Amino acid sequence: MKKENYDIMQKETKNNSFCQNLAKVSVPPSRIKITNALKSLLKDKDFNSITTAEISRVAGVNEALIYRHFDGKRGLLHTVLSEYLNEFVSNLIFDLKGIKGAINKIRKFIWATLHYYDDDRVFSQILLLEVRNFPGYFESETYQIVKQYAGFLMKIIEEGIQSAEIRDDIVPAGIRQFILGSIEHYCLPALIYNKKMDCDILADNLCEILFSGIKKH
């Protein structure tokens, strides 16, 4: 079995939790111990200043297992990030089911993303600040999922244009960029200076500005 294929099974998500019983592949416990160790350590310090020795000590497993299960220290981080993002995107897709209309979907999309940033500051900070400087990030699976996430928003926008909910004289990529950019813009200071953020108000504010601009009237 290939190294990186345990991803989906490791943590329950709304989408695939029911598959658990079917999948008879057992995830080695040491694998989970390691990812948990890294997650726990990331709460306290920079990724670069976490050592493999530290990870293995916290995980209570042999250091070399990091290389059996993952592609070294950086590979471990990317795996952990991918798993995390995967879960978020899966949940997001699930949450948007049953919502009617592009505008409503976008509202939900924004709120969910803000909530996600608020909820897990550790990963959000890594995603927003750290990971972009890593060599090879733009070839990583993590980045693929981010693109998938952005593509998902894109489809909603295009859907809205086709259903005449959204103006057709703005390029969709522009709208997507505005949304994603604004979200980051809102979250960044809160993440960095560790302030609480009020997702409801923030989402409302953003949507008001956004929709007043893009809604077909």
Partner DNA sequence: CATGAATGAGTGTTCATTCAT
Partner DNA sequence: TATGAATGAACACTCATTCAT
Q: Interface with DNA by CB under 7 A: which residues?
A: 1, 26, 28-31, 50-54, 61-69, 72-74
Question: CB of residue 19 vs a second copy: minimum separation in angstroms?
Answer: 28
Q: Which is nearer to DNA, 4 or 118 (CB)?
A: 4
Out of 185, 200, 205, 209, the residue judged to bind a second copy by CB under 8 A: 185
Stretch that binds a second copy, among 29-37, 40-48, 56-64, 83-91 (CB under 8 A): 40-48
45 binds, among DNA, a second copy, none (CB under 5 to 8 A by kind): a second copy
Determine, following the binding rule CB under 8 A, whether residue 193 of this chain makes contact with a second copy: yes
Rounded-to-integer distance, Cα 45 and Cα 142, Å: 21
Selection from 144, 128, 126 nearest residue 136 by Cα: 144
- The encoded tokens of residue 114 equal 């803000």
Binding string, residues 145-184; x marks residues near a second copy by CB under 8 A: ------------------------------------x--x
Stretch that binds a second copy, among 103-111, 147-155, 171-179, 188-196 (CB under 8 A): 188-196
Stretch that binds a second copy, among 75-83, 126-134, 154-162, 202-210 (CB under 8 A): 126-134
Question: CB of residue 143 vs DNA: minimum separation in angstroms?
Answer: 19
Rounded-to-integer distance, Cα 74 and Cα 87, Å: 20
Provide the β-strand partners of residue 180. none
Q: Which is nearer to DNA, 45 or 215 (CB)?
A: 45
129 binds, among a second copy, DNA, none (CB under 5 to 8 A by kind): a second copy
Q: How far is C-alpha 26 from the geometric centre of its chain's CA atoms?
A: 25
51 binds, among a second copy, DNA, none (CB under 5 to 8 A by kind): DNA
Question: CB of residue 197 vs DNA: minimum separation in angstroms?
Answer: 32
Quote the crossing angle between the two packed helices 72-96 and 29-42, to the nearest 10°. 90
Selection from 79, 115, 118 nearest residue 95 by Cα: 115
Determine, following the binding rule CB under 8 A, whether residue 212 of this chain makes contact with a second copy: no
- The encoded tokens of residue 24 equal 């008879």
Selection from 128, 90, 215 nearest residue 164 by Cα: 215
- With H, G, I as helix, E, B as strand and everything else as coil, classify residue 175: helix
Q: Which is nearer to DNA, 134 or 211 (CB)?
A: 134
Q: How far is C-alpha 113 from the geometric centre of its chain's CA atoms?
A: 8
Residue 194 neighbours by CB distance under 10 Å: 9
Alpha helices in the chain (DSSP H): 7-10, 29-42, 52-59, 65-69, 72-96, 102-119, 121-125, 141-162, 172-192, 199-214
